[in-house]
């Protein structure tokens, strides 16, 4: 099944979603490993799309979010597509560099059987070419299934600067 995010299609095997409870432990381990590997490949593609869109086509960024998605940006809460669009428009131009990516599927019991992947990134960003800041960002991606395909959207996004404080 394709992984659709905005205008880009990614391959993601939904035969493994949702994760089933297997009686054979070795089978479960292999299936879970495949499940995690697929989630991580999808997360890597998502991160490339997200930060390229943030840097080069910011007006298109809200297409990656659910209608009622929440962004927490350095403690400031932004909810809904219109508010997200206004917030992103206010940000100066950016140059993101992702140095770390981690991901994991979120167990169906924690998400009411909604297929969800947690994506964690950190790296550096410059706004308007100014001083470089370290950042950490966490996304919850959820699968929105239609009759034709599965579209992945951001349900939650938490961004934080991680600059070191002088002590």
Q: Domain locations in the chain?
A: 2-161
Question: Closest Cα partner for 118 from 132, 104, 108?
Answer: 104
Quick one: pLDDT at residue 109?
A: 58
Residues 6+ apart with CB under 8 A from 4: 10, 149, 150, 151, 152
Which CATH fold would you assign to the domain 2-161?
Nuclear Transport Factor 2; Chain: A, (3.10.450)
Q: Please list the ranges in the chain whose pLDDT falls under 50.
A: 1-22
Taking the C-alpha atoms of residue 109 and residue 85, their distance in angstroms, rounded to an integer, is 32
Helix, strand, coil in percent for the chain, rounding step 5: 30, 45, 25
Quick one: pLDDT at residue 10?
A: 45
């Amino acid at each position: 099944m394709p992984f659709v995010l905005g205008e880009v299609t990614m391959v993601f095997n939904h035969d493994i979603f949702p994760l089933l409870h297997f009686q054979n432990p070795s089978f479960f381990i292999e299936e879970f490993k495949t499940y995690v590997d697929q989630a991580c490949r999808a997360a890597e593609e998502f991160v490339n799309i997200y930060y390229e869109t943030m840097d080069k086509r910011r007006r298109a960024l809200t297409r990656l979010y659910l209608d009622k998605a929440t962004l927490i940006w350095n403690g400031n809460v932004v909810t809904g597509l219109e508010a997200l669009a206004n917030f992103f428009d206010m940000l100066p131009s950016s140059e993101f560099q992702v140095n770390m990516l981690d991901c994991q599927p979120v167990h169906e019991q924690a998400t009411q059987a909604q297929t969800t992947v947690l994506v964690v990134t950190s790296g550096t960003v410059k706004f308007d070419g100014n001083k470089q800041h370290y950042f950490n960002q966490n996304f919850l991606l959820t699968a929105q299934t239609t009759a034709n395909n599965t579209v992945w959207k951001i349900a939650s996004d938490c961004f934080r600067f991680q600059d070191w404080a002088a002590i």
